[in-house]
Structure formats: structure tokens, C-alpha cells
């Protein structure tokens, strides 16, 4: 059958099982939006307040569902407004397909109105970027984009289409996509055998889980391995929920704001099993001294990550789930009682702790955990609140903690929460933001209310840029250059102006009731929680220091004396 390019885009999205897209229309993409109008019963379009919100929503949808997220934008500023969201997805290996439209082919390269080479702009921050100038190649390109986005190490793909291609016609043949198989081509038997031997020889093993284990759906295999070899488990920000935060083998997050038990434990271990981790600088600190007493086994789907940041003793390239399936069959059950006793002593000696009096960031997160029974999807912006959310909410399943880890994008969370709610309508979805982050994309509250989304926006409001202020306090002799936000903005009134419910919380004793009310109302709610400007995230490792040098408030007080 003969279809226009715009019709082909819609048919290809339907082929891929896409039922939700996020975007913002404009001149060059009007043909596609006209077709969306005709197919609104099959594909629900969420009109965001800003294209960046659309990219983050596609990201949040993908992280929380495991599907490919899709966003749409017009040419020029519409397309460039997607860039931060695409880069965010790229750094955290999240599968999204961004579809943009450009000026007509005769106008390309002439600095035409709203012309930007968006395929060139995003080349360093995508797995692949395409520009389609021939309608006969459109269907193949879109189908290929979805395969690239979700195969191997996932990531974003951009497809830019000239406007004339969306209007031109060609023959279209329907296609049933083949399932993308896990990447197993490079799993070598000798590497598996060496890894199994290292595990059996280890007296003090430690498992470190990253976002690759989430992408590979490997949580069952990770949990089986940990209990089979009696190993403690730590995770990165991206690996949250792969191993349950309520499991006694869990030691908390690793790295700059990880627990002392994890940081000291990894330093003491004799085998570190890293699964789906890229060894970010925020995790490893001083690379030369990271896990210096251990042999390192690295399991990752991306060969480029092996020996990139940390030299390892053995590596297995391939899908983490498939690798662990094989590895678990090769190793016997092992006991490490003495080692686990050491870990339990570390956990008992160095628990996460905060001031119990007054309303604080950790208190807010712990109350969210209690009121949701640990079953909510928690989304965060970036900063102190992000670290508190990682530290004090116990994640028992993957895809329930969504955060910008690699790029650290302020303004990520609200759009991502909208995407998560669209993909998980039966889940309680909560975005935790600092007041600085909330300001960046708070216009997306209008998107939530327009779509009648029951969404809870928690603003941890300390009237400063908290994490930057923390660094200024500790390392810049309290010179607070442009980090104080005290002004006349009223987030409760702002919420009400956008059609949401606003609730202000100033006392710790009022917090449980406020959260209960936010959940009960089943609408868009903004909780404005006022905390002290100088609350800090502890433990903390100074940038570039050894992870065992983590210090907390008590250590800081001793040092200052």
C-alpha cells in the first residue's frame, strides 16, 4: 500500500508497540502530528510544556517500563531543546528514540528558518543519529533506530526527517519486528572458567551492581549469586533495586556518598565482582587505590568499558543476565561466615545517621518510605535530595529509582516522573526535588495537571543550591557565591496556579499526615517541605580521594577540633 512519510512514521511506531509518545508540535513536524490526530486512540500523545520535558518523560517511561521511550520535536529550537534529555539518556544507557523533523530538502544547508543540523549536533550523545532525505528509506531507518536503541548496551537514537519526506509517498510493507536477543557473541568459556575459579578461591568476595544489571533484567541472577557465595552486595546510583535494600547482605551504596560499610568493605575485599558498572569517578574515587586488595572481575555488555577506568583481572563481555546464568551453574555454594561477620560489624559501627530533631531531608525520605510501604517509584532531580533518596529509601525492585546519574541533570525529575506515571498508572510516583532543581522545569506541573496525573512532587526546600553550598562550606571557606535562592517564590501558590494542590510542611510532626493526604487526593500534589539551609549529605568522600576516606559529621567535628 502507498503511504505518506508521516503515515509511515505512525505505522512504524505501532509496529514497535508504541502506545505513548511525548512531544511538542511545530511547523516542520505538522504532517506527523496530523497523522497522530487520526490515530489518537492507538497512540496517546503527551503534550509537555517544553521539549526538554518530553525527552526526560521518554527517558522516565523507558527506565520504569524497560520499553523504548519516544519523543517528538520540530526543527531548530524544538530539536535543540531535546539535547539535554538525549545526553541524559546517553550517559545512563537509556533506550529512547527521538524523532525530529527538519526543513525541506531544497532548504537544507541554506540557513533556512529554524534549520539546525540536529543529527550532527547529537552525534556524540547518541548511539546513532540519522537524517532521512528519501521517503523510501524512512521505514527501514525507524525500524533500525529501535533495534539500535534497545540492543547490546541501550541508548538514545535520533531520527531527523525532512518535511518533504513526511509528505512524499512510497510503497509501505508492514513488518513484524523480531525480538532483540541478548548479546552473547563474546561470552567466552575460558573467561567463565577463570571467573568461576576466582570466585571459588575468594575468601572475602564483594558484589558491586551497576545500571547494566537493570538494563539486562538480571536481578534474579544477581540475588542468586550473592546468596550462593554468601557475598555482601553494594550498588551504584544506577544499580538501585537490583539487590533488595532490605536484604541482610546489602551494605548500601558505594562511592562519594556511599556508606562507610560499603566503602571500607570494598577496600578490604579480596574479590570484587562488578556487574554492569562503568566504574564512574563518583564511585571509585582515587582509581589507583580503588579495591586495591582485591582481584576484580568485570561483567559488562560493552567491551569499551573493560579496563577504561579501572584495570581488572578478568572480564566477561556479554549480557549480564546470560553471563550470570552460566556462572551460577558453574560455582558451588560457599560459606564466608567470618567475612560476613566483618561486614555486619562495619554495618553496625557505621550506620547511616542524621539529626532526629526537626524536618530534614533524610526524615522526608524515610517517611515517604513508610507511607508507601517501599512500593513507590521514586524519581529525583540532582543534588542533596538525590543522595538522601538513594540512601534512605529501601528499593526492593529495579526500575523503581529513576535519577540522572551520569550527566547529573537538574530539571530531569519532573518530566521523568510524568513518563514513569504514564508507563505505570497503578504505581505511586513521587518526584523528589530540591528547590533549585524544581525551578528548572516546574512548568511541567502544568503537563501533569493537564493530563490529570496523580503525581506527587516533593520539594526539599532549603532555599539554597544545597549540594553546591555543601562544597562551598567544606572546601571554599563558606564563600556562598550565587547559591542562595531566598526570594518571593511561593511554591504552594505556584502549584495552585497550575491546577495542582499545594501543601506546605514546616514541622516534622506534620509530615506523615501531609504525605498521606497527597496519596489520598489522587491528583497532582506539590509538597513544599522547608528544611534548614545547612543540612548536609553524609558520608562524603572528597573528589579524587580514596573511598575509605569517607567522613561523616562526627569525623568533621573531630577534625575541626
- Strands (DSSP E) along 74-203, which ranges? 96-102, 128-132, 157-162, 169-171
What's the rounded Cα separation, in Å, for the pair 57 and 60? 5
Does residue 180 sit within a domain?
no
Taking each continuous run of H as one helix and of E as one strand, the counts in the chain are 24, 20
| CB distance 79 to 27 below 8 Å | no
d(CA 317, CA 182): 12
The DSSP result for 390-423, as a single string, is: HHHS---STTSEE---SS--TT-HHHHHHHHHHH
Q: Which tens digits make up the pLDDT trace of 355-394?
A: 999 999 999 999 999 999 999 999 999 999 999 999 999 9
Query: Residue 108 CB: number of other CB atoms within 10 A?
Result: 14
Total domains present in the chain: 3
Asked whether residue 521 is assigned to any structural domain, the reply reads yes
Domain check: are 345 and 196 in the same one? Answer: yes
The answer to whether residue 139 is domain-embedded is yes
Of 423, 416, 421, 424, nearest in space to 381 by CA: 416
At 556 the pLDDT is 87
- Inside any domain, residue 182: no
Nearest to 433 by CA among 415, 451, 454, 449: 415
> Which cell is 24 given?
511538542
Three-state SS for 84?
helix
- Outline where DSSP puts E strands in 78-173: 96-102, 128-132, 157-162, 169-171
pLDDT tens for residues 294-328?
999 999 999 999 999 999 999 999 999 999 999 99
CATH number reported for the structural domain that contains residue 270 in this entry: 3.40.50.1220
SS3 217: coil
8 A C-beta contact, residue 397 and residue 241: yes
Nearest to 233 by CA among 282, 269, 192: 269
| Residue 363 parent element (H or E) | helix 361-372
Do 409 and 483 sit in the same domain of this protein? yes
Domain extent for 272: 189-349
Measured from the Cβ of residue 286, the count of other Cβ atoms closer than 10 Å reads 17
Of 171, 203, 232, the one marking the end of a domain is: 171
How confident is the model over 535-554, as a mean pLDDT?
94
Residues 159 and 66 in one domain: yes
Q: What is the pLDDT of residues 199-237, one digit of tens each?
A: 999 999 999 999 999 999 999 999 999 999 999 999 999
Same domain, 302 and 410: no
Indicate whether 70 and 202 sit together in one domain: no
Q: What is the pTM of this model?
A: 0.97
Band of the pLDDT at 554, cuts 50, 70, 90? confident
Do 409 and 317 sit in the same domain of this protein?
no
Catalytic residue list? 51, 113-114, 163, 467
- Please give the share of the chain, as a percent, with pLDDT higher than 90: 98
CATH number at 455 reads 3.40.50.970
Dump the DSSP string for 242-277: SS-TTSTTEEEE-STTS-HHHHHHHHH-SEEEEES-
Using a 10 angstrom Cβ sphere, with 0-12 exposed, 13-18 middle and 19 or more buried, the burial of residue 357 is: exposed
Residue 512 has pLDDT above 90, yes or no: yes
Is residue 241 a contact partner of residue 395, using CB atoms and an 8 Å limit? yes
Strands, sheet with 205-209, edge to edge from the N-terminal-most edge strand: 250-253, 233-235, 205-209, 271-275, 295-300, 314-317
Same-domain check for residues 67 and 204: no
Residue 266 and residue 254 in contact, taking contact as beta carbons nearer than 8 Å: yes
CB 536 within 8 A of CB 364: no
Are both 477 and 366 inside the same structural domain? yes
* Per-residue model confidence as pLDDT tens digits over 255-295: 999 999 999 999 999 999 999 999 999 999 999 999 999 99
Q: Does residue 560 surpass a pLDDT of 90?
A: no
Let me know: does 150 contact 217? Beta carbons within 8 Å.
no
CA separation for the pair 256, 260 (Å, rounded): 10
11 and 129 inside one domain:
yes
Q: Quick one: the chain helix, strand, coil %, rounded to 5?
A: 45, 15, 40
How crowded is the C-beta side of 178, counted as CA atoms within 13 Å? 6
Q: Is residue 356 assigned to a domain? A: no
Beta bridge partners of 401: 378
Cβ(413)–Cβ(437) below 8 Å:
yes
The mean predicted confidence, pLDDT, of the chain is: 97
Residue written as cell 550498588? 235
**Nearest alpha-carbon partner for 69 in 41, 91, 95:** 95
3-state secondary structure of 369: helix
Mind giving me the DSSP string for 474-520? HHSTT--TT-B--SS--HHHHHHHTT-EEEEE-SGGGHHHHHHHHHH
Question: Distance between alpha carbon 91 and the CA centroid of its chain, in Å?
Answer: 9
Q: Is 557 part of any domain?
A: no
Is 553 domain-assigned?
no
Residue 540 and residue 542: Cα distance in Å, rounded?
6
Smallest CA-to-CA distance from 421 within 449, 393, 392 is with 449
| Residue showing cell 511547523 | 27
pLDDT digits (tens, 9 = 90+) for 492-501: 999 999 999 9
Q: Are residues 338 and 481 in the same domain?
A: no
301 SS3 class: coil
144 and 67 assigned to the same domain: yes
Last residue of a domain, one of 291, 323, 349: 349
Residue 327 lies in a domain: yes
Helical packing angle, 5-15 and 30-38, nearest 10°? 50
For the chain, percent of residues with pLDDT exceeding 70: 100
Same domain, 495 and 365: yes
**Residue that finishes a domain, picked among 171, 198, 220:** 171
- Beta bridge pairs of residue 456: 430, 525
Residue 74 clears pLDDT 90, i.e. is over it: yes
Amino acid at each position: 500500500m502507498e503511504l505518506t512519510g508521516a503515515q509511515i512514521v505512525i505505522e512504524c511506531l505501532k509496529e514497535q508497540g508504541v502506545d505513548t509518545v511525548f512531544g511538542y508540535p511545530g511547523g516542520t513536524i505538522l504532517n506527523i502530528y496530523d497523522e497522530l490526530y487520526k490515530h489518537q486512540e492507538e497512540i496517546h500523545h503527551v503534550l509537555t510544556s517544553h521539549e526538554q520535558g518530553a525527552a526526560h518523560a521518554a527517558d522516565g517511561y523507558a527506565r520504569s517500563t524497560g520499553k523504548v521511550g519516544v519523543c517528538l520535536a520540530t526543527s531548530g529550537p524544538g530539536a535543540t531543546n531535546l539535547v539535554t534529555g538525549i545526553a541524559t539518556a546517553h550517559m545512563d544507557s537509556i533506550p529512547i528514540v527521538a524523532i525530529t523533523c527538519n526543513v525541506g530538502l531544497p532548504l537544507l544547508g541554506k540557513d533556512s528558518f529554524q534549520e539546525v543540523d540536529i543529527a550532527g549536533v547529537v552525534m556524540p550523545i547518541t548511539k546513532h543519529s540519522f537524517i532521512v532525505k528519501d521517503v523510501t528509506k524512512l521505514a527501514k531507518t525507524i525500524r533500525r533506530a529501535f533495534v539500535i536503541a534497545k540492543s547490546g548496551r541501550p541508548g538514545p537514537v535520533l531520527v531527523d526527517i525532512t518535511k518533504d519526506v513526511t509528505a512524499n509517498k512510497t510503497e509501505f510493507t508492514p513488518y513484524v519486528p523480531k525480538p532483540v536477543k541478548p548479546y552473547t557473541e563474546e561470552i567466552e568459556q575460558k573467561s567463565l572458567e577463570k571467573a568461576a575459579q576466582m570466585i571459588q578461591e575468594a575468601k572475602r568476595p564483594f558484589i558491586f551492581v551497576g545500571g547494566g544489571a537493570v538494563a539486562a533484567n538480571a536481578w534474579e541472577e544477581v540475588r542468586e549469586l550473592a546468596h550462593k557465595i554468601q557475598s555482601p552486595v553494594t550498588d551504584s546510583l544506577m544499580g538501585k533495586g537490583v539487590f533488595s535494600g532490605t536484604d541482610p547482605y546489602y551494605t548500601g551504596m558505594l562511592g562519594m556518598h556511599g556508606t562507610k560499610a560499603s566503602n571500607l568493605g570494598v577496600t578490604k575485599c579480596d574479590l570484587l565482582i562488578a556487574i554492569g558498572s562503568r566504574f564512574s569517578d563518583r564511585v571509585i574515587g582515587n582509581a589507583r587505590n580503588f579495591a586495591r586488595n582485591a582481584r576484580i572481575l568485570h561483567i559488562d555488555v560493552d567491551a569499551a568499558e573493560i579496563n577504561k577506568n579501572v584495570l581488572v583481572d578478568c572480564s566477561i563481555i556479554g549480557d549480564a543476565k546470560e553471563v550470570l546464568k552460566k556462572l551460577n551453574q558453574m560455582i558451588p555454594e560457599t560459606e564466608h561466615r567470618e567475612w560476613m561477620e566483618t561486614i555486619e560489624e562495619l554495618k553496625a559501627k557505621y550506620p547511616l545517621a542524621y539529626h532526629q530533631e526537626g524536618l530534614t531531608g533524610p526524615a522526608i525520605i524515610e517517611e515517604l518510605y513508610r507511607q508507601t510501604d517501599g512500593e513507590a517509584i521514586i524519581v529525583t532531580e540532582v543534588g542533596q535530595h538525590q543522595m538522601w533518596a538513594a540512601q534512605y529509601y529501601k528499593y526492593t525492585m529495579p526500575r523503581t529509582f529513576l535519577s540522572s546519574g551520569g550527566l547529573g541533570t537538574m530539571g530531569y525529575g519532573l518530566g521523568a516522573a510524568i513518563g514513569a506515571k504514564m508507563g505505570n498508572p497503578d504505581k505511586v510516583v513521587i518526584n523528589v526535588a530540591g528547590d533549585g532543581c524544581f525551578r528548572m522545569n516546574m512548568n511541567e506541573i502544568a503537563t501533569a495537571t493537564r493530563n490529570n496525573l496523580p503525581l506527587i512532587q516533593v520539594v526539599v526546600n532549603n532555599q539554597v543550591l544545597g549540594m553546591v553550598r555543601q562544597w562551598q562550606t567544606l572546601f571554599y571557606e563558606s564563600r556562598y557565591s550565587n547559591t542562595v535562592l531566598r526570594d518571593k517564590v511561593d511554591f504552594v501558590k505556584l502549584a495552585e496556579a497550575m491546577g495542582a494542590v499545594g501543601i506546605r510542611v514546616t514541622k516534622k510532626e506534620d509530615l506523615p499526615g501531609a504525605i498521606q493526604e497527597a496519596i489520598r487526593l489522587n491528583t497532582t500534589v506539590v509538597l513544599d517541605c522547608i528544611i534548614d539551609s545547612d543540612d548536609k549529605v553524609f558520608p562524603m568522600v572528597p573528589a579524587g580521594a580514596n573511598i575509605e576516606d569517607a567522613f561523616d559529621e562526627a569525623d568533621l567535628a573531630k577534625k575541626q577540633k
